[in-house]
Amino acid sequence: MALHVELLQHTGDPEKIVSAAAKLCYSSAGITDILDGLDAEGVGRFLTMLMEMGHESPIEHVSFTFGIEGVSRALLAQITRHRIASYSVKSQRYVKEGQFEFVTPPAIKADETACALFTKSMADAQKTYNSLADILSEKYFAENMAQGMPEKKARNQAEKKAIEDARFVLPNACETKMIVTMNARSLMNFFQHRCCSRAQWEIQALANEMLRLVREVAPTLFAFAGPSCVAGPCPEGKMSCGKAAEMRKTYLKEN
């Protein structure tokens, strides 16, 4: 299943809000007139000042909400390490995976033998999941009925309880969906780590698409967003890809 990302919502006029927050820090303006003078030139001036000073707290005042699908449970484990964010994820506890979609790594897809083996393993996982869910569902249904529970309720509760355990056989490749909200400062940090060429391919693709979307609504704010080497030295040390100049060219060209 292909990656699909949408920017569902964001703080209105995000660059102006960030500029107003910065203006409050560095001027005597009051709350009632904090937005005065913040035309395109004023906004650009304050955003440039923030980037030059490394003053990041004002950008926390704007947030961006993404709808994401076509990603694996393996990616879910990575993205939730970014803790200053909000996540709502499709539940494998409450949603039965009747025929789960899955994400195939490019290297596997490119090899006919590997792809066939991988696809078979996904089919086997689905078959095992279905069998486990059926076996456990019947077991719990019988127990519920023995306790005098109405048949419809007994069946519904039995299936829910069954898939709680059957899901343990599902692979990391299993596709999931999520809604993610981050403020701009958290997004900057996310891009620094996940746009890096050393990031795992799936989350790097996600980060690049999220960056493309936020640049459409806040181009100045995210002008220098991307891997750490875009706006400064590479922090990877001996693990560096050695392509900082190439990365700067790629990410700054996209502005």
Q: Which of 51, 62, 68 is nearest to 8 (CA)?
A: 68
Which phi-psi region, left, alpha or beta, contains residue 37 (left: φ > 0; alpha: ψ -120 to 50)? left
CB 21 within 8 A of CB 58: yes
CA angle, 199 then 239 then 53, to 5°: 75
Q: Which of 167, 194, 212, 248 is catalytic?
A: 194
The pair of structure tokens assigned to 43 is 């906004």
**Identity of residue 211:** L
To the query of whether residue 194 is one of the catalytic residues in this protein, the response is yes
CA–CA distance, 159 with 134 (Å, rounded to integer): 8
Q: ∠ at Cα 111 (105, 114), nearest 5°?
A: 75
Task: Tell me which residues are annotated as active site.
Answer: 194
